[in-house]
Structure 1
């Protein structure tokens, strides 16, 4: 359940998602995350480092570890499921153009 606690914290999944393409420095990561506060970003990055999901690259950027990449791989499955779910919700909505 510790993973659910970590992933349930605001911005955690977004940070992992933004790092999926490669390392980012603090400011670029903050911009990618719609300018979340620097204190929250620093706190989440510290938590993700302690959880061994993120580490620092030699240039000082933040990057996913092997465990972090594995978490992102699993998020892709959740993304596919959420698209299916959204389609079902849309299909179940009454047609607003009907009289």
Structure 2
């Protein structure tokens, strides 16, 4: 079954991923989970979004298998989520250089 997303008629995996990552607060949630699990309230406080938005984005990230909820420690990145984050780290390093150059 093809999953339709914004900007794509094909539902190709890259388009589905970019659609998810382009939603407000998604990348910020992934970033805040990069070092350690966090409870819902802590995530909400860190990113400054409403509980409804945070809950919705976490649900989307859980459905995408990038985030999971551990009863003891809170929300954390899955192995897929950690792999995605590793792919973003070079972009983060580049953006630091870019910011200094502009």
Unaligned runs of 5+ in 1: 90-99
- CA distance in 2 between counterparts of 1:75 and 1:60 reads 24
Q: CA RMSD in A?
A: 1.2
Q: Which residue of 1 aligns with 2:78?
A: 65
Q: Which residue of 1 aligns with 2:10?
A: none
Q: Which residue of 2 aligns with 1:48?
A: 61
Which stretches of structure 1, 4 residues or longer, exceed 4 Å deviation after superposition? none
Which structure dedicates a bigger proportion of its chain to helix?
Answer: 1
Q: What are the Cα deviations for residues 52-91 of structure 1, in whole angstroms up to 9, with x where unaligned?
A: 00001131611100000011111211111112222332xx
Q: Which residue of 1 aligns with 2:49?
A: 36
1:2 is aligned to 2:16: yes
* TM-score, normalised with respect to structure 2: 0.80
The structure with more radius of gyration: 1
**Equivalent residue for 2:32, pick from 18, 22, 31:** 18
* TM-score, normalised with respect to structure 1: 0.83
User: How many residues are aligned here?
Assistant: 88
- CA distance in 2 between counterparts of 1:74 and 1:60 reads 25
Greater relative contact order (Cα < 8 A, sep 6+)? 1
